[in-house]
Amino acid sequence: MGGARARAEMRAGAAAMAPMLIGVIPFGLVAGTTPAAVGMDWEAALGFSIILFAGASQLAAIDVLSRDGSALLAAVVAWTINLRMLLYSASLAPYLAHESFRKRMGASYLMVDQNYALCVTRWAEGKGDPKGRAWFFIGGGLLLWSAWQLATLAGALLGETLPDELPLDFAVPLVFLVLLIPAINSRPAAVSAVVGGAATVATVEMGAGSLSIVCGAVAGIVGGVVTEIVLHRRAPSGPPEPLEDLG
């Protein structure tokens, strides 16, 4: 695909992504202020946003580190939250199979919930030029990436000037809450959430510390899978439901 057509596809992707920035920017501010609130410097805040580039897992890793968890535990918690990217990757692979390896790796780095949701629905309906798919994905991804980095930096620099009376640390569970509610989209998912939450509280009460997040999540997953098998006794089908508003 020639340069002009590639640029047109990137612009179309960015235009489709633009409305989603309304949810991305406040979340990015939180991703920047939270590391500052637990005593990290702005370089670390930006490091999380550039190297990890996945909002909920950034906040979770920072949470583990702030409670004296090890680097490995923080990474394990981040991986747990990002495992859904495996599903996104699998679901996008057939659509991008014809693209060059380099473009597929670029798309991988820029893969977030919004980008996935935007493209998988568009491509499933047969819309857009099949040859321009990677550029469309990359265009939307780059716009979101830029907004995310700027919002993180602004949050990290503003963090210290924000008044103490403002309970900004509460923004972290609230962001997870906005993602949790639409994720509870079936009875197995509801069981998964209830068991996951209860098991985390139980294991932390027993002294598991920040490892309780992984224990709780695994218990929730087991509960959800068992419920699905008991209720349906059939294999799920179709693409996964994307989460909304995740940076």
Partner 1 sequence: MSRTWAAIVLAGIGTFAMRASFLALAHRLSEVPPWAQRILRQIPPAALAALVIPALVRPHGEIDLWQPRLAAGLLAALVAWRTKNVALTLVIGIGALMLFQEF
Q: For residue 57, which of 81, 29, 30 has the smallest C-alpha distance? A: 81
Quickly list DSSP for 40-92.
Answer: --HHHHHHIIIII--HHHHHHHHHHHHTT--HHHHHHHHHHHHTHHHHHHHHH
120: helix, coil or strand? helix
- Decide whether 4 or 205 has the Cβ nearer to partner 1: 205
Contacting partner 1 within 67-96 (CB under 8 A): 70-72, 74-75, 78-94, 96
Interacting residue with partner 1 among 142, 153, 154, 193 (CB under 8 A): 193
- Decide whether 3 or 94 has the Cβ nearer to partner 1: 94
Rule CB under 8 A: is residue 196 a binding residue for partner 1?
Answer: yes
Give the side-chain half-sphere CA count within 13 A for 39. 4
Q: Which positions from 145 to 184 touch partner 1 by CB under 8 A, shown as an x/- string?
A: --------------------xxxx-xxxxxxxxxxxxxxx
To partner 1, the closest distance from the beta carbon of 55 in angstroms equals 10
Whole-angstrom Cα distance, residue 188 to residue 198?
A: 15
To partner 1, the closest distance from the beta carbon of 125 in angstroms equals 19
CA angle 59, 113, 2 (to 5 degrees): 125
Contacting partner 1 within 96-135 (CB under 8 A): 96-97, 99, 101, 104-105, 107-109, 111
Interacting residue with partner 1 among 4, 51, 164, 207 (CB under 8 A): 51
To partner 1, the closest distance from the beta carbon of 18 in angstroms equals 16
Q: Given the structure tokens 């569970």, which residue do they identify? A: 173
To partner 1, the closest distance from the beta carbon of 4 in angstroms equals 26
Interface region with partner 1, contact rule CB under 8 A, candidates 3-11, 21-29, 124-132, 150-158: 21-29
- Decide whether 8 or 211 has the Cβ nearer to partner 1: 211
Residues contacting residue 15 through CB under 8 Å, at least 6 positions apart: none
Rule CB under 8 A: is residue 17 a binding residue for partner 1?
Answer: no
- Decide whether 125 or 170 has the Cβ nearer to partner 1: 170
**How far, in Å, are 93, 98, 99, 127, 189 from residue 130 at the CA level?**
13, 9, 10, 8, 34
Rule CB under 8 A: is residue 21 a binding residue for partner 1?
Answer: no
Tokens of 74: 């923080």
